[in-house]
Structure 1
Amino acid sequence: MASAIRFVRDGAWLQIRLANAARRNALGPEDWIELAELLQNAASSGVEIISLTGEGPVFCAGVDRSMLAAAQKEVGGLVSQVRHVGMIVQTLETSPAIVIAALNGPAVGIGVHLALAADFTLACRDAFLWLPEAAMGIPDVQHHRMLAERLGKHRALEFALLGRRLAAEEAQAAGLIGTLVDTPDLIEGELAGLVARIQAVPVSVRSAIKRAALAQVSIGDPDAQAEAVSQ
């Protein structure tokens, strides 16, 4: 099956789109291969801004269930998959480029981590963040330190352990989302405006600030995630 990830290069801006609305943009094996290749090439081809958005009413429904089911049939398969996917998210998070996530709808499971990996996160008001993995028997801890810092211990545990959905406005109040727009059709315009403002800043200044940000922010830990799943 071909990847459902689409991309356009506009100068130094790499626009990545999750384009499998029929499956709520759940990411399967081919999608992860494509995303990893895009991020690897971006690091060596002068990409300065990376944006990630989805088609349809959902930003990303997480890892495709068939991929998860296949991994669970193999000894150590789930741990290996979790580490692989987590490393791709970490590559996005530690990219020297400015990363923007534009949430056209809910972010679920690994979709939450893609959103948390961004430097700027835009969202429509009816979007939400949701980690349902605990109910599936999978501990989700990759960004738990960041969540605890932003939400506080109690709300972070409600979110990761009890599966409470985090509404876009609550996520914005905690600093997990930057800008909210009223409807999904306004996301593209807000994204283009943000990119224009970023491009107006000299590249050397952008790069210096991104390096400083990476030195200060709690980065998601795929090894901790894999270790938690292996227990």
Structure 2
Amino acid sequence: MLSLTIVTPTYNEADNIGELLRRLAAAAAAEPDVLVRSVIVDDSSPDGTADRARALGAELSTGTFSVEVLSRAAKEGLGAAYLWAFEQVLGREDPPTHILQMDADLSHDPAYLSDFLREVRAGADLVVASRYIPGGGTPDWTLDRKILSRGGNLYSRALLGSRLTDWTGGFNLFSRELLERIHFETVDATGYGFQIALKHRASVAARRVREIPIVFLDRTEGTSKIPGNTMLRSLLLVVRIRFTRASSR
């Protein structure tokens, strides 16, 4: 039986966490042959995100859907939150067969869960949600934001390879076996550059890679946590990965 853990880092997402968990529960109910667990990784949010998630999780729990809240002592960034959560989840006696990364601000629609699982059942060990293939898009974005994001992804694709079209997105599914094989715990990147570094390593090692189209919607509640220098740091990371790979040949 497939078992899927959905890892969602949070910081001050009390306005979104309830709707997210309700939508996840509905999406999981449509997949009765999959054990789905939502793991909320909260960096000690002062707005009560963790408490809301625990309370609603108890209400939504079923035989195939559950919610777990893992609290961290301090806010250390997206990459650190994911690495810590992966270690916690995969280090258990009965780890899940797959892990899905997902944002908490509802920009990643839980309804896409069925698309991810369709590709898993077809044999994919890496499934990436892409805004840049037919059927995907970013309708809420301004033109300059679209140009910046598209340019950054084309740049990453040119240097790292054409296997993926969306290098910077954070809606990705990995098999447990793939994460263990690439030694995810050694990925050396912080913040949103973590997504690029992890996906690069996974896409090189994956046996079957698939992308699914998604429409990415901007948050309607709360505030963005993306640092202003994210794009520059990500572009520099791509160069580092490219030349590290070249020197190892």
Structure having greater relative contact order (Cα 8 Å, sep ≥ 6) = 2
